[in-house]
Structure 1
Amino acid sequence: MFNSLIISTLLFSLEKYGERNAFCIEGEYYSYARLKKRIAAVRKVLHNVSAENIGLVANDDLDTYASILAVWMEGKCYVPLHPDQPLDRCMDIIAQVEITTILDSSKSTRYRNNDVIITSTLNDENELLFPQKQTDNGLAYILFTSGSTGRPKGVPISRGNVAAFVDSVEKLGITLKPEDRCLQMFDLTFDLSVQSYLLPLLAGACVYTVSYKEIKYQAVFALLDEYHLTAALMVPSVIHSLRPYMEEISIPEMRYSLFCGEALNIDDAKAWYECVPNASVWNLYGPTECTIYCTAYRMRVFCSDKQTNGNVCIGKAMPGVKTMVIDDKGIPCTTGAKGELCLAGAQLTQGYWNDEKKNKEAFFVANDGTRYYRTGDICACDALGDIEYYGRKDSQVKVNGYRVELSEIECVARNYYNGKKAVVAVVTDRGSGNTIKMAVEQAEGNNGFELKSFLQSKLPSYMIPREIHFLKKFPQNTNNKIDRKLIKEIIG
Structure 2
Amino acid sequence: MSATSCLHELFIASARQDPQAVAVVEPGQGSISYGELDALSDRLRDRLAMLGVGRGDRVGIYLPKSIDSVATLLGALKAGAAYVPVDPGAPVARGAYILHNCRVKVVVVAASLADKLGSALGELGATPASIAVDVSLAAGSGLRSALDAADRQTAAVAADKAGNEPDDLAYILYTSGSTGKPKGVMLSHENALSFVDWCSESFSPTAADRFSSHAPFHFDLSILDIHVCLKHGATLILIGEDIGKDAPRLAQLIADERISIWYSAPSILALLAQFGGLARHDYGALRQVLFAGEVFAVKHLRTLSTLWPRPRYFNLYGPTETNVCTWYEVPLPVPAERNTPYPIGKVCSHLRARVLDDGGAAVGRGSEGELCIAGPAVMRGYWELPEQTARGFFIDADGTAWYRTGDIVNEADDACYTYLGRRDRMVKRRGYRVELGEIEAGLYRHAKVKEAAVLAFADEQAGVSITAFLSSDEVKRPSLIEIKRFCAENLPLYMIPDKFSWFDSLPKTSTDKIDYQRLKEIG
TM-score for the superposition, normalised by structure 1: 0.92
Stretch deviating more after TM superposition (36-45 or 372-381): 36-45
Contact 2:251 2:278 in 1 (8 A): no
CA distance in 1, matches of 2:21, 2:105: 36
Root-mean-square deviation over aligned CA pairs: 2.7
**Residue 278 of structure 1 aligns with which residue?**
310
For residues 112-191 of structure 1, the aligned pairs below 5 Å read 112=118, 113-118=127-132, 119=143, 120-123=145-148, 131-172=161-202, 174-191=203-220
Contact 1:252 1:276 in 2 (8 A): no
Contact 2:360 2:394 in 1 (8 A): no
For residues 19-30 of structure 1, the aligned pairs below 5 Å read 19-27=20-28, 28-30=30-32
Cα shift readout 1:38-85 (whole Å, capped 9, x = no counterpart): 112212202223341111113222121011111112221111122111
For residues 28-427 of structure 1, the aligned pairs below 5 Å read 28-51=30-53, 52-106=57-111, 109-110=114-115, 111-112=117-118, 113-118=127-132, 119=143, 120-123=145-148, 131-172=161-202, 174-218=203-247, 220-244=250-274, 245-248=277-280, 250-290=282-322, 292-302=323-333, 310-417=340-447, 420-427=450-457
Stretch deviating more after TM superposition (338-347 or 437-446): 437-446
Cα shift readout 1:438-471 (whole Å, capped 9, x = no counterpart): 1113452221444433333322111111221102
Contact 1:283 1:314 in 2 (8 A): yes
CA distance in 2, matches of 1:31, 1:136: 27
Distance 1:99-1:334 versus aligned 2 partners, 3 A rule: same
> What is the CA-CA distance between 1:189 and the residue it aligns to?
0.9
CA distance in 2, matches of 1:90, 1:223: 30
Distance 1:156-1:474 versus aligned 2 partners, 3 A rule: same
SS in 2 for 1:259: strand
User: Is it true that 1:471 corresponds to 2:503 in the alignment?
Assistant: yes
For residues 428-447 of structure 1, the aligned pairs below 5 Å read 428-444=458-474, 445-447=476-478
CA distance in 2, matches of 1:7, 1:144: 21
CA distance in 2, matches of 1:157, 1:5: 12
Distance 1:419-1:314 versus aligned 2 partners, 3 A rule: same
Contact 2:46 2:79 in 1 (8 A): no
> What is the CA-CA distance between 1:26 and the residue it aligns to?
3.4
Distance 1:268-1:130 versus aligned 2 partners, 3 A rule: farther
> What is the CA-CA distance between 1:193 and the residue it aligns to?
0.9
1:202 maps to a residue whose letter is K
Contact 1:22 1:31 in 2 (8 A): yes
User: Is it true that 1:453 corresponds to 2:485 in the alignment?
Assistant: yes
Contact 2:429 2:463 in 1 (8 A): yes
Contact 1:208 1:223 in 2 (8 A): no
How many residues get paired?
A: 488
Cα shift readout 1:114-142 (whole Å, capped 9, x = no counterpart): 310233411399x9867431101110001
Stretch deviating more after TM superposition (473-482 or 430-439): 473-482
CA distance in 1, matches of 2:214, 2:64: 13
1:298 maps to a residue whose letter is E
CA distance in 2, matches of 1:104, 1:446: 38
1:26 maps to a residue whose letter is P
CA distance in 1, matches of 2:292, 2:280: 24
Stretch deviating more after TM superposition (447-456 or 376-385): 447-456
Contact 1:58 1:189 in 2 (8 A): no
CA distance in 2, matches of 1:343, 1:364: 10
2:109 maps to a residue whose letter is D
Contact 2:318 2:325 in 1 (8 A): yes
1:23 maps to a residue whose letter is V
Gaps of 5+ in 2: 119-126, 133-142
Stretch deviating more after TM superposition (153-162 or 419-428): 419-428
CA distance in 2, matches of 1:490, 1:246: 40
Distance 1:89-1:303 versus aligned 2 partners, 3 A rule: closer
SS in 2 for 1:103: strand
CA distance in 2, matches of 1:264, 1:130: 47
Contact 2:51 2:129 in 1 (8 A): no
Stretch deviating more after TM superposition (91-100 or 268-277): 268-277
Contact 1:39 1:128 in 2 (8 A): no
Percent of residue pairs identical: 29
Cα shift readout 1:9-37 (whole Å, capped 9, x = no counterpart): 31221123222211111322222232122
CA distance in 2, matches of 1:289, 1:274: 34
Stretch deviating more after TM superposition (445-454 or 77-86): 445-454
CA distance in 2, matches of 1:217, 1:388: 31
